[in-house]
Amino acid sequence: MKPEAAARARDTLDLAPRFTEHDAVRLNRLFRGASTEEMLTSVIRDNLAGDLAVVSSFGAESAVLLHLVASVDPSVPVLFLDTGKHFAETLAYRDELAARLGLNLVVLVPDAEELAKRDESGLRWSYDPDGCCELRKVRPLEKALTNYDASFTGRKAFQAATRANLPRFELDTSDAAGRLKINPLIDWDAGQIEAYFIAHDLPRHPLIAAGYPSIGCSPCTSQVAPGEDPRSGRWKGLDKTECGIHKPGEEPLL
């Protein structure tokens, strides 16, 4: 090959998606019947999904996934969206878990100029919760995820009807780059989560005891009555079930 041809080959950009729907189906079939621990070990150590990160809210059940991933490889980045609206208890819990598990914590913050233009009062959550989530969560995470091929989430089927049919591996439908979302705990129930907390002596989020089984930003998180959907306290009274990082209805038919 001539030198100029080699140079042109090196300069060619690969614009193909990282993963396709076929890849998600293949991975779901590959790990059918495998335990969560087996799946995580293979995916992380065998590099089956490329560069990985965990997206964590450090909420009520986050310690389980964080402990599972850290047990395989504590260097996996853990992305935390510091929206500026978290409960103080959440920030303290984040720091406690990061220290105890030796997490590679990466704190993401909203763009300061954009916040100043579009949420100068800090009250956008009260009249445009979707816009607030877009500014403080969706955009910072989208920017950060350009560095990764796949992300682990803590979603579980029992949390809400909108999550009931999610698979372990899914293509991120909001991302043209073809990234994967991996849901290691999707088939875990509340009893398994509780048993894991006890078996590994994991600390609890302090707001759980106060009636918050699902914890997000403080202005949009309410207490939940016994017997209610664990996520019913999120954006209570609004036709909103997700912040925009995950979207209802994105469950693929596998």
CB atoms inside a 10 Å sphere around CB 78:
25
Q: Catalytic amino acids?
A: 243
Residues whose CB is less than 8 angstroms from the CB of residue 200 and which lie 6 or more positions away in sequence, other chains included = 67
Of the candidates 50, 90, 2, 4, the residue with the CA atom closest to the CA atom of residue 172: 50
Task: Please report, as a single letter, which amino acid is at residue 154.
Answer: G
Residue found by looking up tokens 């509340």 in the block: 190
Beta carbons of 68 and 36 less than 8 angstroms apart: yes
* Strand-strand pairing, 169-171 and 180-182: antiparallel
Q: Cα(254)–Cα(251) distance, rounded to whole angstroms?
A: 9
Q: Cα(133)–Cα(110) distance, rounded to whole angstroms?
A: 10
Task: Please report, as a single letter, which amino acid is at residue 109.
Answer: V
Backbone angles phi, psi at 108, to 5 degrees: -105, 140
